[in-house]
Amino acid sequence: MFISPAWAQATGGGSGDFLVQLFPLILIFVVFYFLLIRPQQTKMRAHREMLAGVKRGDRVVTGGGIIGLVTKVISDNELQVELADGVRVRIVKQTISDILTRGESVRGGKDSDEDDKPMLPPSPPASERKSLLGSLFGGRK
């Protein structure tokens, strides 16, 4: 008789073992909430508030890194942005990643194409214009 009889152990207080096993999972969820989920929610809320405050005259950066000037707010999720003189594109508002400078608030009527042009200083006449090389090397005499 090489085999001894095996007796089942009595179960005593099984609910305590369950809570001990569940405690690490609860602790991991709490750590993930405070380190990952909550900061991401506050960041998303701040980004939504920033996008809600975009107006004409703001200098913005798009998600692709393009810097432009908001010339017209077309709808709740679409803007017209001027990238260079005379180069205007329509972008989705959610692609804006940052607002560099805030423009002055525009009061009055609705936006029109004539009002969209930014104020530029008058250019000097052709006789007074200097080239870059001319200004560096003394120009004409």
Interval 24-48: pLDDT, tens: 999 999 999 999 999 999 999 999 9
CA distance 106 to 118: 12
Task: Choose the weakest-confidence range: 15-19, 56-60, 78-82, 95-99.
Answer: 15-19
pLDDT band at 102 (very low <50, low <70, confident <90, very high): confident
CA distance 108 to 117: 16
Q: Do 130 and 139 contact (CB within 8 A), yes or no?
A: yes
CA distance 141 to 128: 13
Q: What is the pLDDT of residues 127-137, one digit of tens each?
A: 555 666 666 66
Place of tokens 């909550």: 38
pLDDT band at 62 (very low <50, low <70, confident <90, very high): very high
Give the pLDDT score at 100. Answer: 92
Q: What is the pLDDT of residues 1-18, one digit of tens each?
A: 577 776 766 555 556 788
